[in-house]
Structure 1
Amino acid sequence: MNLKKILTLAAIALVLFFVIAQPGHAAGLVSNAIDFLRSSAESVITFVSNIFKG
């Protein structure tokens, strides 16, 4: 097995363990990540809009 496949399987196992062990905390982290991505996208849109306004 190559290193990339081992690391991928280990990451999946870690995520599954975290979701099973602490589902509330995991859901909070996912919610925070989605909020961060939404905020980042809005910031980029505002930036690009301001470039083409002026």
Structure 2
Amino acid sequence: MIAVNAKKLAGLVGIALVLFFVIAQPGQAAGLVGNVVDFLRNSAESVITFVSSIFN
């Protein structure tokens, strides 16, 4: 019971921090999101290249 409440509280605190960051520094938040999207795209391209190399 306590662990569930702590997990829920941690999630709410995390969401509050993200919202504060977006409101207080929107330019930096947008840059961070752009970096995350670039990382995910590059990771996906690397996995595709790896799988393609296996089957060629």
TM-score range relative to shorter protein: over 0.9
Structure 2: 5+ residue stretches without partners: none
What amino acid is aligned across from residue 31 of structure 2 in structure 1?
G
Q: Which residue of 2 aligns with 1:50?
A: 53
SS at match of 2:10: helix
| Equivalent position of 1:34 in the other structure | 37
Q: For residues 55 and 6 of structure 2, what CA distance do their matches in structure 1 show?
A: 46
**Which residue, 16, 20, 23 being the options, matches 1:20?**
23
TM-score using structure 1 length: 0.95
Per-residue CA deviation, residues 2-54 of structure 1 (Å, 9 max, x unaligned), is: 1110000000000000000000000000000000000000000000000011x
Structure 2 length-normalised TM:
0.92
Structure 1: runs of 5+ lacking an equivalent: none
Q: How many residues align?
A: 53
